[in-house]
Every structure is written in structure tokens, then in C-alpha cells.
């Protein structure tokens, strides 16, 4: 893992040809040379989609957008990106402290990029103050998961489950607490995650599962854990 954007404005994948992360103070953009089948809770281009660009867009900590989808759509157009091929996450965390990890494994290659802030850390399942779901607060732990390989849709969901478990483990080991309860946090109140899969047949296999006991799920878990931990532990550094 590393934090490349502390010193550079671009990161090129060591394992995946044509995969580039570009950094500016306003956004991190993941550009894929291949179209991706995606799954995630992006405010723009979320759910199931086909895109070749992920954007982690930094907004002010005070942002309380009534129409984050519309705000993101307007931003995408202003950047000159194709809105039909772009997914956008919103964050108030430091983009410069994004943690990146990649690996080549058992018939797949993988890159994960995570940004994190834990000012609104929360423990799932605990009684806490609740707000309507039609308001929006910018995500504070955001992860891009890029897999060069082929997965079934069920395995994609499995990979997201594994990633969320790994995030919770990282927060536990970092000692992050829910401010309302004082209990160990499992996330924040506005986390976002976006998985993109190339569907490449070059590896000669389709992964049907991505749980923690599988080679691909284990790689996702390790990379998410390490990137979340690094981003969280350095969030207050300059």
C-alpha cells in the first residue's frame, strides 16, 4: 500500500494495462481502458452500471445537498466527462491521503483506492440519532475496487460483503469509536463503495465466489483492510 498523491498527481497500475488514477485537489479520477461492469452506492452512476471512469469528488464538509445526483451530474458535465460512462462518489476526506494497493493473484489482478475520515464514525446495530434518507452527507470512507478478471454478479455482491467486513476490522484495529455510544465503530454514517470488474476472459476462469476463504476474496479483504487502516491512521497528518 502507499499514498502516492502526497507527492504525485498520477498513479499508473503496475499490473493492469491502461489503468490510471489522476489526482487533483478537487477529485481523484480512475480511468480504465476497458469498460467495467460496476456495482456500488455511488450517488451518480450507482447500482449496476457499465462505466470506464470512477470519480471521488471532494466537497466541503458542510455539504448537505438535497440533490447530490444532480450536483454530481452537473460536475461531470463541467469536467467534460461522458455522464453515461462515469460513476461519482462524494467525500469530505483528504484526497491527498488516499491509500492505494494492488496485487496480481489467482486469475485476477486487483487495485483498491480508499479515502477516509472518521469524524462521523458509527457502529451498525447500535441505537443512535437517525436522519431521513432523502438528505445527504458526503461519504467519509470511500473505496474504489477495480478487478481485472471475470466474476458472476453474485460474486460481485460477495466481494462487496467481504470488503465491508474488512473495513470494519480495520476500524476496530485502529481503535475508532462511535461518538454516540463509545463502542467500536464498524464504519461511518455515509460510507461509499464502488466495485468495477472488467470481465476479462484472459485469465481463463469466472470467479463464482468472493468470500474471505477464496483467493480473490482474500485479496480484496487484505487490500481493503490495509488501505482503510492507512487512510484512517494518517487522516490528521498534513
pLDDT at 134: 62
Distances (CA, A) of 83 to 47, 54, 55, 146, 192: 15, 11, 11, 19, 19
pLDDT at 40: 98
Residues in the chain: 238
CA angle 63, 69, 70 (to 5 degrees): 90
pLDDT at 170: 99
Determine, yes or no, domain membership for 21: yes
Determine, yes or no, domain membership for 238: no
Helix H or strand E segment including 29: strand 27-40
Contact partners, residue 231, CB within 8 Å, separation at least 6: 3, 93, 97, 98, 99, 114, 115, 116, 141
Determine, yes or no, domain membership for 50: yes
* Helix/strand/coil for 167: helix
Contact partners, residue 171, CB within 8 Å, separation at least 6: 118, 121, 184, 185, 186, 187, 228, 232
Interatomic CA distance for residues 15 and 96, integer angstroms: 23
Q: Which of 33, 42, 26 is nearest to 12 (CA)?
A: 33
DSSP string, 61-73: TT---S-HHHHHH
Backbone angle region of 78, left / alpha / beta, with phi > 0 → left and psi within -120 to 50 → alpha: alpha
Determine, yes or no, domain membership for 209: yes
Interatomic CA distance for residues 10 and 22, integer angstroms: 5
Determine, yes or no, domain membership for 61: yes
* pLDDT by 10-residue block (mean), the chain, 238 residues: 96 97 98 98 98 97 87 98 98 97 98 97 88 70 99 99 99 96 96 98 98 99 99 96
Question: How many domains are there within the chain?
Answer: 1
pLDDT at 131: 72
* Residue 150 and residue 206 in contact, taking contact as beta carbons nearer than 8 Å: yes
Q: Residue 154: give its domain's CATH number.
A: 3.60.70
Determine, yes or no, domain membership for 59: yes
Residue 95: domain span: 4-233
Determine, yes or no, domain membership for 41: yes
pLDDT at 1: 79
Amino acid at each position: 500500500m502507499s499514498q502516492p498523491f502526497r507527492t504525485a498527481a498520477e498513479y499508473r497500475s503496475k499490473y493492469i494495462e491502461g489503468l490510471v488514477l489522476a489526482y487533483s485537489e478537487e477529485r481523484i479520477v480512475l480511468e480504465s481502458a476497458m469498460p467495467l461492469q460496476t456495482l456500488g452506492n455511488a450517488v451518480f452512476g450507482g447500482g449496476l452500471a457499465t462505466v470506464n471512469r470512477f470519480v471521488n469528488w471532494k466537497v466541503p464538509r458542510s455539504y448537505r445537498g438535497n440533490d447530490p445526483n444532480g450536483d454530481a451530474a452537473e460536475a461531470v458535465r463541467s469536467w467534460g466527462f461522458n455522464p453515461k460512462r462515469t460513476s461519482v462518489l462524494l467525500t469530505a476526506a483528504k484526497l491527498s491521503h488516499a491509500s492505494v494497493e494492488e496485487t496480481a493473484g489467482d486469475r485476477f489482478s486487483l487495485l483498491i483506492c480508499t479515502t477516509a475520515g472518521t469524524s462521523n464514525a458509527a457502529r451498525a446495530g447500535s441505537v443512535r440519532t437517525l436522519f431521513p434518507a432523502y438528505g445527504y452527507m458526503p461519504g467519509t470512507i470511500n473505496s474504489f475496487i477495480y478487478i481485472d478478471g471475470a466474476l458472476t454478479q453474485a460474486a460481485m455482491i460477495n466481494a462487496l460483503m467481504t470488503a465491508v467486513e474488512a473495513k470494519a476490522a480495520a476500524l476496530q484495529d485502529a481503535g475508532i469509536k462511535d461518538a454516540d455510544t463509545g463502542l467500536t465503530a464498524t464504519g461511518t454514517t455515509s460510507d461509499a463503495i464502488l466495485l468495477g470488474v472488467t470481465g476479462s476472459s484472459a485469465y481463463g476462469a469466472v470467479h463464482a465466489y468472493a468470500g474471505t476463504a477464496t483467493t480473490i476474496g482474500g485479496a480484496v479483504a487484505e487490500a481493503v483492510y490495509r488501505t482503510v487502516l492507512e487512510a484512517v491512521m494518517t487522516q490528521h497528518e498534513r
